[in-house]
Amino acid sequence: MHKLFVPPESIDGSLITVTGADVEHLHALRIREGERLSISDGKKTVYEAALSQMHKDSAVFDILDEKSFENEPDIDITVCIALLKGGACEDVIRQSVELGASHIVVFTSANCIAKEREKDGKYLKTARQAAMQSGRDVVPDILTGVSFEKMLNILKKTDLPLFFHEKAQTPFFDVIEKNSLPRSAAFAVGPEGGFTDSEVKSAENCGIPAVSMGKRILRAVTAPLCALSVLTAVYDRQR
Ligand code: SAH
């Protein structure tokens, strides 16, 4: 069943009115009257709804059934990635959405080579497409242009803050063993040139010691996917 994400205001009683770019998407998919879609309000409910009226700029659906989210992980994970060269951030965002990230933060740090920020709209579009494709119930939110210090604050607010550094002594698995069921986790991965020693110190001073994912050096695009896969494998036990 195709999936759509609509703002909660689109839902009125037993009807859902879809507008904007989603209508173009429905036209492109050639959705016919009576056809059923899964529509999420992005907050907590997924509706099964059938198309009742298709107009040029809007589409109206009848709600047939509603359920609480079913496809979201048990743990709320924030993925903090440094601004990367080329389209690398977009690739990480797409794959992080597939792997179950709830929030994505793009931060700047001392060794960032990339200077230009992507347009936020482009990232959001990528996240939305990945959420639809992977059957997510929400589109993760994306914060961009975040400073290194602000990123550390975001990490600190979660039950399990992780700062990944290739020279760290503490193995990831040791941290996991000590944290049986965190409700939230956030991790930071550095840019292509890695974190500087002073950034590693700043994190330590915030009470977030550096953690290692093994003796191999992972690329800035590989490290977040490895961390996310491990966190969901260990802490998302629904099925
Ligand atoms: N500074 C290094 C590599 C940077 S890799 C160099 O240029 O040789 C990019 C980021 O991936 C790092 O900042 C770190 O956050 C993460 N990373 C890569 N390998 C890692 C490992 N084995 N353990 C923990 N983090 C790692």
| Residue 81 to residue 163: CA distance in whole angstroms | 11
Residue 211 has pLDDT above 80, yes or no: yes
In contact, 37 and 4? CB cutoff 8 Å: yes
Residue 220 CA, ligand 1 centroid: distance in Å = 6
Sign of the C-alpha dihedral computed for residues 143, 140, 229 and 77 taken in this order: positive
Q: Same domain for 82 and 122?
A: yes
pLDDT in tens, 2-23: 889 999 999 999 999 999 888 9
On whether both 194 and 90 belong to a single domain, the answer is yes
Give 114 or 188, the one with higher predicted confidence: 188
The confidence score (pLDDT) of residue 115 equals 74
Assigned token pair, 47: 């509706």
Which of 19, 38, 68 is the C-terminal boundary of a domain? 68
Q: What is the identity of the amino acid at 185?
A: A
Residue 212 CB–ligand 1 contact under 6 Å: yes
User: Does 179 share its domain with 200?
Assistant: yes
Domain ends where: 26, 45, 68?
A: 68
CB of 222 closer than 6 angstroms to any ligand 1 atom: no
Range of the domain at 20: 3-68
pLDDT in tens, 56-112: 999 999 999 999 998 899 999 999 999 999 889 999 999 999 999 999 999 999 999
Query: Which domain-ending residue is among 28, 52, 68?
Result: 68
Q: How confident is residue 238, by pLDDT bands cut at 50, 70 and 90? A: low
Q: Are residues 203 and 121 in the same domain?
A: yes
Q: Tell me, what CATH number does 58's domain have?
A: 2.40.240.20
Please report, for the domain that includes residue 105, its CATH number. 3.40.1280.10
Same domain, 138 and 172: yes
Q: Is the CB of 190 under 6 A from ligand 1?
A: yes
Q: Which of 37, 33, 30 is nearest to 1 (CA)?
A: 37
Q: Are residues 12 and 92 in the same domain?
A: no
Same domain, yes or no: 59 and 84: no
For residue 171, how far is its CA from the centre of ligand 1 (angstroms)? 14
Same domain, 132 and 161: yes
CA of residue 195 to ligand 1 center, whole Å? 8
Mean pLDDT to the nearest integer, 178-191: 95
Could you report the per-residue pLDDT of 110-155, keeping only the tens digit for each? Answer: 999 877 776 778 999 999 999 999 999 999 999 999 999 999 999 9
The ligand 1 atom nearest the CA atom of 215: 22
Residues 228 and 196 occupy one common structural domain: yes
Amino acid at 34: G
How many structural domains is the chain composed of?
2
Nearest CA to ligand 1 atom 14: 165
Closest atom of ligand 1 to CA, residue 193: 7
Ligand 1 atom nearest 222 alpha carbon: 11
Kindly state whether residues 93 and 210 are assigned to the same domain. Answer: yes
| 148 and 63 part of one domain | no
- Tell me, yes or no, whether 10 and 114 share the same domain: no
